[in-house]
Amino acid sequence: MEKLSIIKIGGNIIEDEASLNAFLKLFSNLEGKKILVHGGGKRATHIASKLGIESKMVNGRRITDAETLEVITMVYGGLVNKNVVAKLQAMGTDAIGLTGADINSIQSDKRPVKEIDFGFVGDVKKVANNSIDKLIKADFTPVFCAITHDGKGQLLNTNADTITSTIAVGMSELYDTSIYYCFELNGVLQDFDDKDSVIKHIDSKTYQQLLKDEVISDGMIPKLDNCFDALHNGVQKVHIGNTSMLTKENELFTTITL
Ligand SMILES: Nc1ncnc2c1ncn2[C@@H]1O[C@H](COP(=O)(O)OP(=O)(O)O)[C@@H](O)[C@H]1O
Ligand SMILES: CC(=O)N[C@@H](CCC(=O)OP(=O)(O)O)C(=O)O
């Protein structure tokens, strides 16, 4: 099978113009078939606050009422996505920006209300791998933002890490698929105060121990859950690290296996 890399960039990279440009240069030069997924949670929180809208997060997920959905649609689907696409075009990569509604690429169900009502948040149901593959085969580079739809006209907010793992699972029917979660740190850290204390390898067993020892917290827990979901469902390899892990020179990052 041909190789496909799915690369996700976190909100802190997007916030820093120099880091974003450096990452996009690496991404642009990366050989082989590739898909980019971006978040932008920080930017959404910032712009919402300028509009007088308070952001509420529960378990790392944004409570998305109708007003917040308008903000995230403008920020993820517009501002961030189109800037990234324009920068990639300037670097010679024929990028196409997408939400999950475009070419019906990612359908989701509105999250059912249990203890918490997350509002317009979607849990991914179906990835149109063959439609996405048409773009890839035509030599376009898809750039996805953190928005899906329910197929009935409703846009839904969906965490970018989850979008990454579910696209990767869908595409693994067609390609030998690897995920690269790029963020501002060098990888999953043993000691949060020592930025070089990267845990080079995590498997299901060591993950349970890390949880028990409270070495990982916050956004890292759903990120790792997404990694294991992907590995259980056909994805070959998952990596977490800073953007330079996309180069052959950097060997300091975390690899996740089952
Ligand atoms: N052991 C750990 N190593 C690295 N990051 C950790 C660890 N435990 C918690 N984290 C937190 O997880 C965050 C990454 O998750 P998240 O904010 O969802 O990422 P992203 O920037 O990719 O959206 C880091 O910024 C860090 O604050
Ligand atoms: C439902 C939900 O929480 N969606 C996320 C989507 C953005 C995202 O995931 O951005 P980062 O990768 O930059 O965190 C949010 O609105 O914050």
As a whole number of angstroms, the distance between CA 216 and CA 182 comes to: 17
The reported pLDDT for the residue numbered 59 is 86
pLDDT band at residue 146 using 50, 70 and 90 as cut-offs? very high
Q: Are 49 and 21 in contact (CB under 8 A)?
A: no
pTM over 0.95: yes
Is the pLDDT at 135 greater than 90? The verdict is: yes
Mean pLDDT of 118-128: 98
Task: Decide which of 127 and 39 is more confident.
Answer: 127
- Tell me the per-residue pLDDT of 68-78, one tens digit each, with 9 for 90 and over: 999 999 999 99
Annotated domain spans of the chain: 3-184
Q: How far is CA 48 from CA 40, 43, 56, 67, 68, in A?
A: 12, 8, 11, 9, 7
Q: Is 190 in the pocket of ligand 1 (CB under 6 A)?
A: no
Pocket test for ligand 1, best of 36, 61, 220 (most atoms within 8 A of CB): 220
The reported pLDDT for the residue numbered 62 is 97
The reported pLDDT for the residue numbered 156 is 98
Q: What is the ipTM of this complex?
A: 0.97
90-94, 100-104, 147-151, 245-249, range with the lowest pLDDT: 245-249
pLDDT band at residue 249 using 50, 70 and 90 as cut-offs? confident
**Ligand 2, atom nearest to 62 Cα:** 3
Looking at 1.10.3450.40, 3.40.47.10, 3.40.1160.10, 1.10.10.10, the CATH number of the domain 3-184 comes to 3.40.1160.10
**Ligand 1, atom nearest to 190 Cα:** 1
Ligand closest to the CA atom of residue 214? 1
The reported pLDDT for the residue numbered 160 is 97
pLDDT band at residue 168 using 50, 70 and 90 as cut-offs? very high
Mean pLDDT of 213-238: 95
Distance 173 CA to ligand 1 centre (A): 29
Task: Decide which of 251 and 62 is more confident.
Answer: 62
Ligand closest to the CA atom of residue 183? 1
**Ligand 1, atom nearest to 60 Cα:** 18
R_g of the chain, CA atoms, integer Å: 17
Is the pLDDT at 60 greater than 90? The verdict is: no
Distance 161 CA to ligand 2 centre (A): 8
Q: What angle do CA 69, 151, 172 make, to 5 degrees?
A: 100
- According to the annotation, is 62 in a ligand binding site? yes
As a whole number of angstroms, the distance between CA 55 and CA 57 comes to: 7
Nearest residue CA, atom 4 of ligand 2?
Answer: 159
Q: Is 198 in the pocket of ligand 1 (CB under 6 A)?
A: no
Mean pLDDT of the residues in the chain: 97
Long-range contacts, stretch 109-114, CB < 8 angstroms, 24+ apart = 109/150, 110/150, 110/154, 110/156
The reported pLDDT for the residue numbered 250 is 85
The reported pLDDT for the residue numbered 215 is 97
57-61, 89-93, 197-201, range with the lowest pLDDT: 57-61
